[in-house]
Chain A
Amino acid sequence: DAKTTQPPSMDCAEGRAANLPCNHSTISGNEYVYWYRQIHSQGPQYIIHGLKNNETNEMASLIITEDRKSSTLILPHATLRDTAVYYCIVRFYTGTASKLTFGTGTRLQVTL
């Protein structure tokens, strides 16, 4: 799997949009970008994934650059409950290489 680079930590004021960047410059054409988050002492929670197009669901939006070398996860209105470690992972969609390999992630702190 391609490696990803994320800032170790970020702060965001409650109610504001949280924009979490991720670099994946060695991503291959068959790899998807996945985002998970882990709230303290819990298992990771799936957020969103995408291949080329921007994606949006009830939790977040995923913006992938045209060259696919980077992406941004957007939490449109961050709340205190969004405080967590956010992991950006690139992964093959199928086959034996489709396991998720976690990096160090970004620790997002949402403050009042």
Chain B
Amino acid sequence: GAVVSQHPSRVICKSGTSVKIECRSLDFQATTMFWYRQFPKKSLMLMATSNEGSKATYEQGVEKDKFLINHASLTLSTLTVTSAHPEDSSFYICSAKVHSGNTIYFGEGSWLTVV
């Protein structure tokens, strides 16, 4: 299947700082990427849909000013958690929809710990 890569896989940051997570589609173009958050022993929760060259669409209850999403190219989307707090600690997962098809592939996920 198609490869989606996230970086970093793990990050620890201090409370009040911002942290950026990258999501890349390595062998295909992705006009649409999705960002999820997953708390321990819970299912994935969709945060936002990111379309290349346009503003992201956020799910209800997700603060767009706190979770900044940029999708500047067909192979890269970034999620920036601004002014992070311990409750933002979670597993963040991106996925990308193959432009020439419709299957969605997921990255390996990024563990964020805010201390």
Contact = CB atoms under 8 A, between A and B. Distances in A.
Contact of A93 (B1, B43, B49, B102): B102
A41 B108 CA distance: 8
Contact-residue size bin, chain A (C-beta under 8 Å from the other chain): 20 to 34
A1 to B, nearest CB: 11
Interface stretch (A13-21, A69-77, A95-103): A95-103
Nearest to B1: A46
Which of A43, A46, A93, A100 neighbours the largest number of chain B CB atoms within 10 Å of its CB? A43
B109 A99 contact: no
A45 interface: yes
Given A99-B49, A100-B95, A43 B102 contact: no
A68 interface: no
Nearest to A47: B1
A104 B43 contact: yes
Interface in A55-106: 87, 93-94, 96, 98-105
B contact patch SS:
strand
Nearest to B4: A43
B22 to A, nearest CB: 14
Given A99-B34, A101-B46, A46 B102 contact: no
Interface residues of B, number: 24
A43 B46 contact: no
Interface string A36-59: 101001111110010000000000
B104 A100 contact: yes
B103 A100 contact: no
15 contacts: A36-B106, A41-B91, A41-B109, A42-B109, A43-B6, A43-B108, A44-B93, A46-B103, A46-B105, A46-B106, A96-B49, A98-B97, A99-B46, A102-B43, A102-B44
